[in-house]
Amino acid sequence: MSTTTITVSPAQVANFIAGKLAEIAVPSIRLRQDIGPIQVDRINLLENSEEQPALQFKFDVAEGMGLEIRVKLAEFAASPAAYMRDLLENLQGIRHAALQRRAGRQAEVDAVYSLMGGKQ
């Protein structure tokens, strides 16, 4: 049985991941628009005193939240399909939890605003 090795560059990985994230990203005036509305930076993560090459994705979503995702290239390369599935599932869970926390605090914010003499 022969094995096949496929080599992809970090730029190709960045384009692939940003293409998937672009579905939930919105344009932002505070971030560079490197790939669509997403800012992408090559970084090294220090883990157990060892540097791991990674990509950092920064983007905004419609709910007015900013997201920052760091992808270790070795973890992505080990299983791209599983990595993307887990990433997108986790993003949905994080987004839902953030919206729930935001909604739960709205009454609190309204009460403080009212005490300050603000109109609603």
Tens digit of each residue's pLDDT (9 = 90 or more) over 10-50: 999 999 999 999 989 999 999 999 999 999 999 999 988 89
Q: Considering its fold, how many domains does the chain have in total?
A: 1
Asked if the structure places residue 22 within a domain, the reply is yes
pLDDT at residue number 118 = 61
Q: Give the C-alpha distances (Å, rounded to integers) separating 65 from 5, 13, 94, 114.
A: 39, 24, 11, 25
Please, are residues 14 and 40 in contact by the beta-carbon 8 Å criterion? yes
Amino acid at 103: A
3, part of any domain: no
Show the domain range for 20. 10-115
In angstroms, rounded to a whole number, what is the distance separating the alpha carbons of residues 59 and 77? 23
Q: Which residue has the higher pLDDT, 101 or 65?
A: 65
Q: Does 120 reside within a domain?
A: no
**pTM given for the model:** 0.78
pLDDT of residue 32: 95
